[in-house]
Amino acid sequence: MATISFHNWTFSVNNNSRITSFPHRSPLSNKLFLGNALSLSKRLLKLRSPTLTPIKCSVSQATDPTTPDIAEKSQLMRRSDVRNIAIVAHVDHGKTTLVDSMLKQAKVFRDNQFVQERIMDSNDLERERGITILSKNTSITYKDTKVNIIDTPGHSDFGGEVERILNMVEGVLLVVDSVEGPMPQTRFVLKKALEFGHAVVVVVNKIDRPSARPDYVVNSTFELFIELNASDEQCDFQAIYASGIKGKAGLSPDNLAEDLGPLFESIIRCIPGPCIDRDGALQMLVTNIEYDEHKGRIAIGRLHAGFLRRGLDVRVCTSEDSCRYARITELFVYEKFNRVPTDRVEAGDICAVCGIDDVQIGETIADKISGRPLPAIKVEEPTVKMAFSINTSPFVGREGKYVTSRNLRDRLYRELERNLAMKVEDGETADTFVVSGRGTLHITILIENMRREGYEFMVGPPKVINKKVDDRLLEPYEVSF
């Protein structure tokens, strides 16, 4: 029998790998550990903090389809020249600043080009508030490997953006502040990434802060992996220590390189390439939608199987029984910070498609003859609702030009085309609508955007959405640390 101490945990392990005592933890913690006792002992014994050498990334090997049994069943292959990653974190942990440094060091911009801070936050509201609201795509090239990067919001109110973006990637960079450690949104985004089975590279950011505590942050993140029932392979994550604003990273908090080279190397080594069916029927899940005045609606997503080319006739499917036909008029891929037109896209890459005017998020662009729809995107349900109605005050029409209930209704239902986490329902009267979102900030951003667009309306106070399950009244809550 041996006694092991780890980040204030003290317990005993006998020969059959059972945890037998917990002298310094509460009954709730004991219950948590007892539920995972068989695998915990193995995980804790192999933890290194901080690690000074690159770990052998087990995630990439565990998901490798080249083993005979898997290859015979699926006929899938991995692309080694592409990586699709999402950068996820709690708000203000430095995601967008880290992306800025990655773009600069990948020579996306000219040496004499002026680049503003937080270049990915291109929306006016984002720059004013200093937060990321909408997810955005870009790409870099590192050692002949194309890395598609998706910057995601950090507020839990915009968690729907993160949930649908995870359908496009094979791995995530989990950015954690070197002082605060894991926070509530860190838990949420990590939980979703683990449910998808994605590989995770943990980036301890802002390591240059005087009060940084990297050992505590890595250990707390590891405990979070355990609590979220991560597999042994996922728990064997690579930890990178970085300063996003200085553009430095390293495998040790005390020995940072002069650039982000260790971070790029970890992405190539630990994030697997996309698993594709190159010779299969075309399948592309629409994950995001943008609009251009000249090109119309632009569908964005990852190509899962087959190939796309300009001028190709396709079938757009919502389900097996609901399909329509369309033609691809223009095709784009992401190169550096721009959308670049192309004639052909292979499976595994992220692309943008024009020509389908009525395409919606969650639909599948499939082969015209034998294509099948992919599973629909699912997001968490709203938690807060507010009533929107027309302005009935004596000063109506003085601040906006869209004042009728028809204008208000059209604008609210148009928001649903892109914002999957939001719901709109008709209210008690003909000029009242109930808008449900993931939080007050989620709805506040909609209100501010509508006000700037010239809409004039009234809103009611926010109300929590309760649910009745098995004759019990339930209310939403957030797990904090």
Query: Residue 3, Cβ neighbours under 10 Å: how many?
Result: 9
Domain residue limits, the chain = 2-45, 58-275, 277-367, 384-474
pLDDT of residue 329: 92
Q: Which two tokens stand for residue 193?
A: 């990434």
pLDDT of residue 32: 38
Burial call 406-441: b when 16+ CB within 10 Å, e when fewer? ebbbebbeeeeeebbbbebeeeeeebbbbbbbbbeb
What is the rounded CA–CA span in Å between residue 351 and residue 368? 19
Question: Could you report the per-residue pLDDT of 171-201, keeping only the tens digit for each?
Answer: 999 999 999 889 888 888 888 889 888 999 9
- CATH code linked to domain 58-275: 3.40.50.300
Name the strand (E) or helix (H) holding 279.
none
What is the rounded CA–CA span in Å between residue 285 and residue 84? 15
Report the top-level CATH class of 384-474. Answer: alpha beta
Q: What does pTM read for this prediction?
A: 0.77
Among candidate residues 98, 190, 212, the one with its CA nearest the CA of residue 149:
98
- For residue 101, the 8-state DSSP code is H
For CA atoms 121, 126, 127, 130, the dihedral sign is negative
Task: Report in angstroms the alpha-carbon separations of 395 from 84, 392, 400, 403.
Answer: 51, 8, 11, 11
Among candidate residues 133, 136, 130, the one with its CA nearest the CA of residue 92:
130
What is the rounded CA–CA span in Å between residue 137 and residue 125? 18
pLDDT of residue 265: 92
Alpha helices (runs of H) in 242-283, residue ranges in sequence order: 261-270
In this structure, CATH architecture of domain 277-367: Beta Barrel (2.40)
Give the type of residue at 442: H
What is the rounded CA–CA span in Å between residue 265 and residue 271? 10
Q: pLDDT under 70 in the chain at which residues? A: 1-75, 108-123, 126-127, 320, 479-481
